[in-house]
Amino acid sequence: MRPFERRAAAAYPYFKLAVWDDLFCTWKVIPKAHATEGAARRAARKPGRYVVCRVDESGKTELGPFTI
């Protein structure tokens, strides 16, 4: 769903997965949006450090990091 479509449909909140980038020492957000936090966590397949980001109308909030 594109951002303008999401705003029109009021499809908030949604969740995104971010993976830790050791080279740049920052979280790299994976562009796929998920409807639930659980779906975002299940999308982490490779070993590494991850964080789930909750996005709503007021902005983005990072939930607790986890490691696989």
pLDDT digits (tens, 9 = 90+) for 6-65: 778 878 899 999 999 999 999 999 999 999 999 999 999 999 999 999 998 888 999 989
Residue 67, token pair as written in the block: 């490691």
Whether the predicted model's global pTM rises above the 0.85 cut: no
| pLDDT score at 58 | 87
Can you tell me the distance from the alpha carbon of 29 to that of 63, in angstroms, rounded to the nearest whole number? 13
Q: Where are the alpha helices (DSSP H) in 1-68?
A: 3-9, 37-42
Judged against a pLDDT cut of 80, whether residue 3 lies above it is answered with: no
Angle at CA of residue 58, ends 56 and 60, nearest 5°: 60
Sign of CA dihedral 61, 29, 50, 52: positive
Domain boundaries, the chain: 3-67
